[in-house]
């Protein structure tokens, strides 16, 4: 695994309620279910869940190159057993960009259930634009759960899954309040 260094963009105050967020554009380009089951090679995966783990994704995709942190704008982190994103005006979610070769991307698609018989209802590969630390934008993709997957899975994640995501947040210096708020919503506390 190769690693390209990077940091999370410095937040700015949005002026309305004093909360911090990086400068974002219009938000999500597509919602779950709008993408094709199998898309052409998109090359740059933005991981926001367990694939934040520096060892997990390279085990699945041996040629993966970690490019560094990005911000996904117009989303809020949620849990439906596993991490997922839902469109949320003004929302931001930290992620990391992984550069994938076509064979690794196909391998990850299969793992996430994209185009895999019996699991094709799990995730949709969705093109998005993310913000880099230098405030430039970069195109790539995320995996979003289908409504069917959300409906069948419990909200609260397993302890081991949550720990893997939390480890990634700490490893990259992400604001863990994003994660803890999503966990509280999953437990019904918010």
Domains and CATH numbers, the chain: 2-185 (3.10.490.10)
DSSP secondary-structure letter at 51? G
In the chain, the percentage of residues whose pLDDT exceeds 90 is: 56
Q: Is the dihedral of CA 112, 116, 119, 122 positive or negative?
A: positive
Mean pLDDT of the 1-15 span = 37
Q: Is 134 exposed, middle or buried (0-12, 13-18, 19+ CB in 10 A)?
A: exposed
DSSP for 73-93 reads EEEEEEEESEEEEEEEEEEEE
Asked whether residue 63 carries a pLDDT value surpassing 80, the answer given is yes
Confidence band, pLDDT 50/70/90 cuts, at residue 123: confident
Residue carrying structure tokens 């898309």 = 39
User: How far is residue 120's CA from residue 115's CA, in Å, rounded to a whole number?
Assistant: 5
Mean pLDDT of the 176-182 span = 96
Mean pLDDT of the 32-45 span = 59
Of the listed ranges 13-27, 73-87, 128-142, the least confidently predicted one is 13-27
More confident position, 155 or 50: 50
**Which backbone phi and psi does 154 adopt, to 5 degrees?**
-70, 155
Mean pLDDT of the 30-43 span = 52
Residue pair 84/150 in contact (Cβ under 8 Å)? The answer is: yes
What pLDDT is attached to residue 116? 64
């Amino acid at each position: 695994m190769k690693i390209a260094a990077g940091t999370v963009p410095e937040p700015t105050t949005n002026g309305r309620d004093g909360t911090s967020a990086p400068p974002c554009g219009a938000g999500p380009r597509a919602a779950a279910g709008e993408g094709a089951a199998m898309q052409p090679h998109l090359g740059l995966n933005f991981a926001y869940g367990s694939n934040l783990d520096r060892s997990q994704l390279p085990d699945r995709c041996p040629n993966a190159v970690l490019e560094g942190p990005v911000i996904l704008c117009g989303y809020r982190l949620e849990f439906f057993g596993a991490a997922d994103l839902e469109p949320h005006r003004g929302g931001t979610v930290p992620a990391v960009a992984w550069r994938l070769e076509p064979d690794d991307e196909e391998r990850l698609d299969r793992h996430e259930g994209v185009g895999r018989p019996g699991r094709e209802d799990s995730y949709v590969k969705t093109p998005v634009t993310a913000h880099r630390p230098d405030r430039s934008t970069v195109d790539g993709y995320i995996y979003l759960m289908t409504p069917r997957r959300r409906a069948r899975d419990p909200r609260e994640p397993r302890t081991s899954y949550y720990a893997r995501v939390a480890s990634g947040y700490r490893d990259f210096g992400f604001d863990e309040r994003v994660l803890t708020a999503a966990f509280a919503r999953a437990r019904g506390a918010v």
